[in-house]
Amino acid sequence: MVGAAAFLTHHHNSLYFFSSASTPRFLPEPRLRASPSPAKQSGACCSTDRRKLFNRIAPVYDNLNDLLSLGQHRIWKRMCVSWSGAKKGDTVLDLCCGSGDLTFLLSEKVGLGGEVAALDFSREQLSIASARQQLLWNDCYKNIKWIEGDALNLPFEGSYFDAVTVGYGLRNLDNKQKAMQEILRVLKPGSKVSILDFGKSNSALVRLAQEWAIDNVVVPIASFHGFTEEYKYLKTSISEFLTGNEQEMLAKDVGFTDAKHYPIAAGLMGNLVARSR
Ligand SMILES: C/C(=C\Cc1cc(O)c2ccccc2c1O)CCC[C@H](C)CCC[C@H](C)CCCC(C)C
Ligand SMILES: C[S@@+](CC[C@H](N)C(=O)[O-])C[C@H]1O[C@@H](n2cnc3c(N)ncnc32)[C@H](O)[C@@H]1O
Span 32-42, average pLDDT: 34
Kindly report, residue by residue over 154-201, the tens digit of the pLDDT.
999 999 999 999 999 999 999 999 999 999 999 999 999 999 999 999
Nearest CA to ligand 2 atom 8: 167
Q: 216-247: buried (b, 16+ CB within 10 Å) or exposed (e) per residue? A: eebbeebeeeebbbbbbbbbebbeebbebeeb
Pick the residue whose CA is nearest to atom 12 on ligand 2. Answer: 96
Kindly give, in sequence order, each residue whose CB lies less than 8 Å from that of residue 265, ignoring residues fewer than 6 positions away: 72, 76, 199
Cα dihedral value 213, 214, 218, 222, nearest 10: -160
Widest pairwise Cα distance in the chain: 55
Span from the CA of 4 to the centroid of ligand 1 (angstroms)? 32
Which of 113, 115, 108 minimizes the C-alpha distance to 92? 115
Residue 2: the pLDDT is 52
The pLDDT value recorded for residue 43 is 58
Cβ(185)–Cβ(164) below 8 Å: no
Taking residue 105's Cβ as centre, other Cβ atoms within 10 Å add up to 21
Q: Whose CA is nearest to atom 28 of ligand 1?
A: 69
pLDDT given for residue 137 in this prediction: 82
pLDDT reading at 237 higher than 50? yes
pLDDT mean over 32-41: 33
Which helix (H) or strand (E) is 239 found in, with range?
helix 228-239
Ligand closest to Cα of 267 equals 1
Determine if ligand 2 sits within 6 Å of the CB of residue 101.
yes
* Mean per-residue pLDDT over the chain, rounded: 88
- What's the confidence (pLDDT) of residue 14? 26
pLDDT band at 1 (very low <50, low <70, confident <90, very high): low
4-275 CATH choice from 3.40.1160.10, 3.40.50.150, 3.10.180.10, 3.40.630.30 = 3.40.50.150
Tell me the H-state helices in 137-189.
Answer: 176-186
Q: What is the pLDDT of residue 31?
A: 29
CA of 89 relative to ligand 2 center, distance in Å: 25
Return the number of other C-beta atoms located less than 10 Å from residue 128's C-beta.
22
Whole-structure pTM value: 0.89
Quick: pLDDT tens for 62-99. Answer: 999 999 999 999 999 999 999 999 999 999 999 999 99
Distance 60 CA to ligand 2 centre (A): 15
112-164 pLDDT, tens digit each:
999 999 999 999 999 999 999 999 889 999 999 999 999 999 999 999 999 99
pLDDT of residue 5: 46
